Amino acid sequence: MFSAEQIASITGGRLDADPQILVAGEAVLDSRAAVPGSLFIAVVGENSDGHDYAQAAVSNGAALVLASKPLPGIPSVVVDDVQLALGLLAKAHLAVLRKAGDLRVVGITGSAGKTTTKDLIGTVLSSVGETVFPAGSFNNELGLPLTVLKATADTRYLVLEMGASAPGDLTYLTSIAPLDVAVVLIVGAAHLGGFGGGIEDVARAKAELVQGVLEGGKVVLNADDLRVLAMREKAAGEVLTFGAVRNTTFQATNTEIDPLGRVHFDVTDARTGASERVQLGLVGEHHMTNALAAITAVAALGVPLADAVSHINNAKALSPHRMDVTEREDGVTIIDDSYNANPDSMRAALKSLAVVAGRKRRTIAVLGEMLELGPTSRDQHDEIGRLVVRLNISLLVVVGAGASGFADGAQQEGSWGEEVVEVASVDEARALLEETLAPGDVVLIKASNGSGLWKLADELVGKA
């Protein structure tokens, strides 16, 4: 809880309000989400200006508006940069909470798997104490501070997903929320366009998370990814590792994939010799990495292995559009993984499609563009198209001109005729599926969020 005067002081802003106004509610970006005591953040976006909705936010109960231009008659703090001011406010809020109580902060990064791992860690820690972790993927310069500001004096654990689209992003995010536990999943080709180079540049950027750990904190690294494991050299504190390889703190063995595409494996704690059987309800072999990361992260906070595995085995997909499997009444199975896409997550999703369908059901991959891959984009799409053929996917539907590399790769690999269909838009993809789908089909919807393919996924499962 801060007064308007304190918020102005923390952010270096000009106060246009009663200094004694108290902000006791959440910080919100959407005026419709404002409640009595809220702080409304007036962000100027590509398609809208939050200042236009400031009055609506106040009418809904917002106590104060954080703005970048004057708002006559509306209680506000006016700053030069709303995003930077929001970060300063979140940093100050977290510092107050740390000083007052025993709050632990966990941060997760990686080219894929961040949101699921965040959800698994949050699920386990919620069984131990009051835990704040966001629904969805609030992992950037706006979403992370908003999540931090949700924490209260009762919060024991704060679980944060931290994304990086360019060098320095994670350094900035960890300056807002220094970590007690840092978790690095994988280094892949996501956001290559923002790093200006190759995958080694991505690795250097992801390593910033390791350097954002507080004294006495712990670092959790994926030993199956050598670029991640190399980050141990940058860790100042204790390092815990996980993976299927030997000599890890938490090792997976005896891995199996059931007919529904769910991974089962034994996990052993090398420190104690304790072992448990993990039987995930989440679809996709790649979730083994996410589950191992979660088990190791909560172990770093003192959660016993048996307790962690028990909660993880019962965990369900919490965030939307992430390997969400729906069995429709007409016999069609929809695998909705449309929130985001990069080469690593695309490969994992396609393999899951093949496993879920087995050899008896027709498989359809509806794929949209993987964004932010920079100069390697065409080659990356081509490689995925070739994988579609190698996995014997029955029908590839390529949505949008930016995804045409999928079709090129599939055709070069030997898939012609009716096995590959290119459509220009989500509407055309919808029309095609309406004509094509039959009982028994298994359909994967996968693309970067900006492609809009998630709208089709919602319609296919009746959530539109």
Same domain, 284 and 229: yes
Question: 227 in helix, strand or coil?
Answer: helix
305 inside domain: yes
What pLDDT sits at residue 196? 58
Same domain, 339 and 412: yes
Residue 463, pLDDT above cutoff 80: no
CA distance linking residue 310 with residue 313, whole number of Å: 5
Query: What is the maximum span of the chain, computed from C-alpha positions, in angstroms?
Result: 70
Partnered with residue 349 across adjacent β-strands are none
Q: By the 8 A CB rule, do 24 and 37 touch?
A: yes
12-to-21, 49, 273, 380 alpha-carbon distances in Å: 17, 22, 53, 45
Q: By the 8 A CB rule, do 457 and 464 touch?
A: no
Phi/psi-derived region of residue 446, left when phi > 0, alpha when psi is between -120 and 50, beta in every other case: beta
On the CB side of 329, CA atoms within 13 Å amount to 1
Count the domains in the chain.
3
Residue 464, pLDDT above cutoff 80: no
The larger pLDDT score, comparing residue 269 to residue 341, is at 269
CA distance linking residue 358 with residue 380, whole number of Å: 26
Q: Quick: pLDDT tens for 387-420.
A: 999 999 999 999 999 999 999 999 999 877 789 9
What pLDDT sits at residue 321? 83
319 inside domain: no
318 inside domain: no
Could you give the angle at the alpha carbon of 93 between the alpha carbons of 205 and 57, nearest 5°?
100
Same domain, 178 and 219: yes
Same domain, 130 and 186: yes
283 inside domain: yes
Residue 184, pLDDT above cutoff 60: yes
Q: Closest Cα to residue 308, out of 296, 320, 297, 295?
A: 295
User: Which of 313, 339, 360 is a domain's end point?
Assistant: 313
CA distance linking residue 327 with residue 321, whole number of Å: 15
Alpha carbon dihedral 455, 458, 463, 464, in 10-degree steps, equals: 20
Q: Quick: pLDDT tens for 363-381.
A: 999 999 998 888 889 999 9
CA distance linking residue 37 with residue 22, whole number of Å: 7
User: Which of 80, 102, 133 is a domain's end point?
Assistant: 80
Q: How do strand 275-283 and strand 238-243 relate by DSSP bridges?
A: unpaired
Phi/psi-derived region of residue 110, left when phi > 0, alpha when psi is between -120 and 50, beta in every other case: left
Q: Quick: pLDDT tens for 250-263.
A: 999 999 988 888 89
Residue 106, pLDDT above cutoff 60: yes
User: Which of 41, 62, 80 is a domain's end point?
Assistant: 80
**Domain that includes residue 226, residue range:** 85-313
Could you give the angle at the alpha carbon of 300 between the alpha carbons of 295 and 301, nearest 5°?
100
pLDDT band at 201 (very low <50, low <70, confident <90, very high): confident
Same domain, 42 and 97: no
Same domain, 160 and 295: yes
Same domain, 96 and 74: no
Question: 180 in helix, strand or coil?
Answer: strand
Q: Quick: pLDDT tens for 408-461.
A: 999 999 877 789 999 999 999 999 999 999 999 999 999 998 888 999 999 998
Same domain, 154 and 195: yes
Q: Which residue has the tokens 């308007």?
A: 4
CATH number (domain holding residue 180): 3.40.1190.10
351 inside domain: yes
Same domain, 184 and 223: yes
Same domain, 387 and 360: yes
Same domain, 68 and 93: no
